[in-house]
Amino acid sequence: MQAMVLDQPGQPLTLRTLPDPVPGPGELLLAVSACAVCRTDLQICTGDLAPRRLPIVLGHQAVGHVIACGEGVSGWQVGDRAGVGWLGAVDGTCRFCQQGRENLCPQAQFTGWDRPGGYADRLVVRADFAFPVPADFPDRAAAPLLCAGVIGYRSLKVAGIEPGERLGLFGFGASASLTIQLARAWGCEVFVFTRNPQEQARARAFGASWVGSYDDRPPAPLAAAITFAPAGAVVVAALKAVDRGGTVAINAIHLDGIPAFPYQLLWLERSLKSVANFTRQDAREFLELAARLPIRTEVELFPLAAANEALERLAAGQLRGSAVLTIA
């Protein structure tokens, strides 16, 4: 198979020919057709997020077709279209799994971090961690739903936003552009904070009620906020904008550190919550919503061999929507 491989953080990915993987018991082998690029991939490449194994094939927003089923697989057959997300495996026995919080499983494995990912033309996935993809979405449009979309949906749940309330989105990349569509469908008034003029224009086009920079004060206090920018200073800006009793949900697996801030910003029962991974139930709920609303994805296409260019464009803030690797 052809794959883009990370050998060491700080080095470009290398296009390699690797042995075709074979699905084990309970696994599917997919022929990958599209894989969206995520900021988490970039953070693994730079070393901001320590790699779990090296070398590793990155990518955790993959869409493909089943070309082989391992022993004991049920519910899937050759030819089915399947989506693969960040959560790749859990133990199913710990207290978190038993409580429906498998996203917190200490033994969880993640696609493109612990398990080989979708920057390749072949991908093995546990059958119980693969998702049927809504028929109305072409492969390249569906790929960003599998992380940017699902984690945005979980962020809304963690933030506790209710229909009709005021919501702040801090940063407006791929995930926020999907999250705003859900919030608008729920009748929320959405305020977007970003310094990037292109992102500000996109936020207005997606129906933001107000757009400003991170340090600007919104015209009214927010019931909840979600931070997408991987910068701790943005978390403090969000705390300043939420009303008493409001929640700031931090949608990031890595931050550069949260600067000291006065307790007054947290007082009056404001709260900070991190958003950690997602559950399979989150994914199923979101994909159903995405098809019903429907959610619209914006993508820029790159061939597999141009994965480094896609990551560079993401790092520079030069993408409109999601970068998606198209794989023959």
Q: What is the pLDDT of residues 158-183, one digit of tens each?
A: 999 999 999 999 999 999 999 999 99
pLDDT at 14 over 90: yes
- What pLDDT is stored for residue 308 in this prediction? 98
Delimiting residues of CATH 3.40.50.720 domain(s) in the chain:
150-274
Instruction: Write the class of the CATH domain 150-274.
Output: alpha beta
Strand-strand pairing, 189-193 and 166-170: parallel
- What pLDDT is stored for residue 328 in this prediction? 74
Question: pTM of the entire structure?
Answer: 0.96
Superfamily (CATH) of domain 2-137+297-326: Medium-chain alcohol dehydrogenases, catalytic domain (3.90.180.10)
- What pLDDT is stored for residue 154 in this prediction? 98
DSSP string, 46-67: HTSS--SSSSEE--S-EEEEEE
Q: Which three-class secondary structure state does DSSP give residue 18?
A: coil
- In one-letter notation, the amino acid at residue 327 is I
pLDDT digits (tens, 9 = 90+) for 232-265: 999 999 999 999 999 999 999 999 999 999 999 9
Average pLDDT, the chain: 97
Delimiting residues of CATH 3.90.180.10 domain(s) in the chain:
2-137+297-326
Query: The tokens of 44 are what?
Result: 């693994």
Extended strands (E) in 154-284:
166-170, 189-193, 210-212, 222-227, 242-250, 271-274
pLDDT digits (tens, 9 = 90+) for 71-126: 999 999 999 999 999 999 999 999 999 999 999 999 999 999 999 999 999 999 99
